[in-house]
Amino acid sequence: MSDQILTMNKNIVDAAGRPIHIPTVDEVQPEEIPIEERGLQLPEPKGYKILCAIPEASDTYESGLAKAGQTKYIEEHSTVVLFVVRMGDLCYKDELRFPTGPWCKEGDFILTRAYAGTRFKIHGREFRIINDDTVEGVVQDPRDHKIKVVNPYLKKW
């Protein structure tokens, strides 16, 4: 049971009725933070979680035609290729579930399901935290790995 009570005026108070002060975080523009310190703001995955970066979608099609912002957004969010940034301390430690050892390591490009994991942004860059058992493969060259949506009513893709 929690020692905090939410009152009618939306203030959080402790069991004695004293208000609890929750500090606000000032929004800082990414340009104001030195590039060397931006990596320090990435979360440290815990347990069996893997922190992955989402590769940025290209600005143009192969023909040179510019992509719309919404198109890039959809491509980045539905990607099946992720870059492993950090791994939790319990990743692949269970010898019963992973008898052959780790499925990936930091610095690998991996395949996973589209929209898998917890998504969040830091300084405009998209990241995901996924479970260690959702890795489906490691790829050497991440280009041109795209999700395929199959329409059962069409003969071809």
Tell me the three-class secondary structure of the chain, residue by residue: CCCCEECCCCCEECCCCCECCCCCCCCCCHHHCCHHHHHHHCCCCCCCEEEEECCCCCCECCCCCECCHHHHHHHHHCCCEEEEEEECCCCCCCCCCCCCCCCCCCCCEEECCCCCCEEEEECCEEEEEEEHHHCCEEECCCCCCCCCCCCCCCCCC
Residue scoring higher pLDDT (95 or 36): 95
Domain 45-148 has CATH 2.40.10.340: no
How would residue 149 be classed by pLDDT, with cut points 50, 70 and 90? very low
pLDDT in tens, 54-91: 888 778 888 888 888 888 888 888 888 999 999 999 99
Residue boundaries of the structural domains of the chain: 45-148
pLDDT more than 70, % of the chain: 68
pLDDT in tens, 119-138: 988 877 889 999 999 999 99
